[in-house]
Amino acid sequence: MRVISGTLKGRQLKAVPGSGTRPTTDKVKESIFNMLGPFFEGGTGLDLFAGSGGLGIEALSRGMDKVIFVDKDSKALQTIKNNLNDCKLMDQTEVYRNDAARALKALVKREVTFDYIFLDPPYKQKRLEELVAYIDAHNLLNENGYVMCEYSSDSRPSDQIGKLQKVKEETYGIIGISIYTY
């Protein structure tokens, strides 16, 4: 697992130990960022279900100003922090151990909004639509922002969730990617 492009291109990232976390493959990660950018002129991101932090670190490498990483697994959090330290990105990040729903509620209370939100929950949970609906209902996404959803290709989310409309969709074997915006 590595950073695909940007200022940290080629940097190796550690994976979360064990089999509980499924990292986004380099091929899928590259495709996600080609759909979104592929580079950013600043902005803020949220990497929910962050795992090793690979998506958020890729976003920072490609020009995003700040990313908040959230995962409920302690091994994942330690891996994220190690990867951020190795990449010298700690000053551009916040890292929290929390359940996704509770993290979103805390962000609403802080009145934080994002330009990009990366959602890659465990496939068996099938919570994407519920999370996207919450993001929409509580205005966590900026007007010109995007929500990226990664899911099992056999559980494709709706084309519209609240006011968010699916604008791009790709399938890579068993992995589906959808991009939503207003």
Whether 147 maps to a domain, the answer reads yes
What is the C-alpha to C-alpha distance for residues 93 and 46, in angstroms, rounded to an integer?
10
Whether 1 maps to a domain, the answer reads no
Tell me which residue range forms the domain holding 61: 42-181
Whether 12 maps to a domain, the answer reads no
Reported as a single tens digit per residue, the pLDDT across 58-95 is 999 999 999 999 999 999 999 999 999 999 999 999 99
* pTM assigned to the model: 0.95
What is the C-alpha to C-alpha distance for residues 55 and 129, in angstroms, rounded to an integer?
20
Total number of domains constituting the chain: 1
Whether 86 maps to a domain, the answer reads yes
Phi, psi of 31 (to 5 degrees): -65, -40
Whether 21 maps to a domain, the answer reads no
CATH code of the domain covering residue 96: 3.40.50.150
Reported as a single tens digit per residue, the pLDDT across 55-67 is 999 999 999 999 9
DSSP letter for each residue of 14-67: PPPSSSS--PPPHHHHHHHHHHH-SS-SS-EEEEET-TTSHHHHHHHHTT-SEE
Whether 14 maps to a domain, the answer reads no
Whether 72 maps to a domain, the answer reads yes
Reported as a single tens digit per residue, the pLDDT across 131-143 is 999 999 999 999 9
Q: What is the pLDDT of residue 140?
A: 98
Whether 77 maps to a domain, the answer reads yes
